Amino acid sequence: MQFGVFSVGDVTRDPTTGTMPTEHERIEAMVAIARKAEEVGLDVFASGEHHNPPFVPSSPTTLLGYVAARTERIVLSTATTLITTNDPVKIAEDYAMLQHLAQGRVDLIMGRGNTGPVYPWFGQDIRNGMQLAVENYALLHRLWREDVVDWEGRFRTPLQSFTSTPRPLDGVPPFVWHGSIRSPQIAEQAAYYGDGYFHNNIFWPVHHTKQMVELYRNRFEHHGHGRADQAIVGLGGQVFMRPRSQDAVREFRPYFDNAPVYGHGPSLEDFTAQTPLTVGSPQQVIDRYAEMRDHVGDYQRQLFLIDHAGLPLSTVLEQIEILGGEVVPVLRKELADGRPAHVPDAPTHAARVEAAGGPQDVTVYADVDGSLLGRADGTLHRQVEQPVGAR
């Protein structure tokens, strides 16, 4: 099972000191967080995608490409890639390039985002949000799997004999998780393609999470990708820890009370009772998250939001030390205990390449006049029929 941290990259004033980081400081902090996560043995660092203040990660591929050069092992992911407002052609190109540079240590969580105005900023209509998610991903899925794509849809200009470059590393596209908190259509989309489903349940009660994951698992089996308990599931979470729980509550309370995302709403006590936010001792975090599989079954990825609400970088790095040193080793052991052998591990590039029969050179070569010659093995892959989701 994979454990990691994700950042939404918010620039928020520290309510205890009044200090506001600059955008540059916040970007540097995200890099430091990723490197610390690898240092303490975590598996994943994920960045959100936002295009408005107070957030800085408008270009996740740039950030993750830099992090890839500064790390060796950790998987680099997005906490959200906006499948609705990004051109799927550009997603295909950018993340295949990142996949090559990171030696395969890349996957994506596709989502619609939570900022309504982003749609007109990128020439789209929010009323088409779900249709955009379905159509754009259908195209992206083909771009990574077919050498030559002909496409005509509703939301972008047609493609004629288009080849996305570079082709995926070793012939295996980046693994995709479909992220959604409340939309059954996205759970269905993940199940239809046999992709992963990520329920970022940081604001929702566990009974809702259970319902969404069960829907995805049942539809995964319906579409013939395996048993329901073999579906690939990820969860979000939030924690703040100190050796004594009362110290954790006292230190975190001003950050909670003033955070733009949930400040001035429910009390800290109500929020921690109703959502996965856990503020307390490392043992309390272990107990809370070890129970997650009682609600969703054995799952593959757990990511924690740990650097938001104006927390200073020094505190965030301390939290990652506690997570990597005291919490995750115990959770790894507890969640591995009794895990059925047929339940898959989290997908990795190496494992997926092996399952595909080994690495392939899928470079598409061209003649001097620009006409396609095909792959080195003499083939050229083209699919005539579109997936159902694209029609």
> What would the pLDDT profile of 339-378 be if each residue is shown by its tens digit?
999 999 999 999 999 999 999 999 998 876 767 677 877 7
Q: Tell me what pLDDT residue 116 has.
A: 76
Q: For the whole model, what pTM was predicted? A: 0.93
391 residues of the chain, pLDDT tens digit each: 999 999 999 999 999 999 999 999 999 999 999 999 999 999 999 999 989 889 999 999 999 999 999 999 999 999 999 999 999 999 999 999 999 999 999 999 998 877 778 889 888 888 999 999 999 999 999 999 999 999 999 999 999 999 999 999 999 999 999 998 889 999 999 999 999 999 988 888 899 999 999 999 999 999 999 999 999 999 999 999 999 999 999 999 999 999 877 767 889 999 999 999 999 999 999 999 999 999 999 999 999 999 999 999 999 999 999 999 999 999 999 999 999 999 999 999 999 999 999 999 999 988 767 676 778 777 877 754 444 443 3
| Beta-bridge partner residues of 374 | 365
- What are the pLDDT digits (tens) for 369-387? 767 677 877 787 775 444 4
At 288, the amino acid letter reads R
Q: What is the DSSP letter of 151?
A: E
Query: Tell me, what's the pLDDT at 388?
Result: 41
CA-only gyration radius of the chain, Å = 21
- pLDDT recorded at residue 368: 67
**Angstrom distances, CA of residue 178 to CA of 57, 122, 146, 192, 344:** 19, 21, 21, 11, 18
Domain 2-390, CATH number (from 3.30.1490.100, 3.20.20.30, 3.20.20.70, 1.10.10.10): 3.20.20.30
For the chain, the structural domain boundaries read 2-390
Can you spell out the DSSP letters for 340-368?
-TTSPPPP-HHHHHHHTTS------EE-T
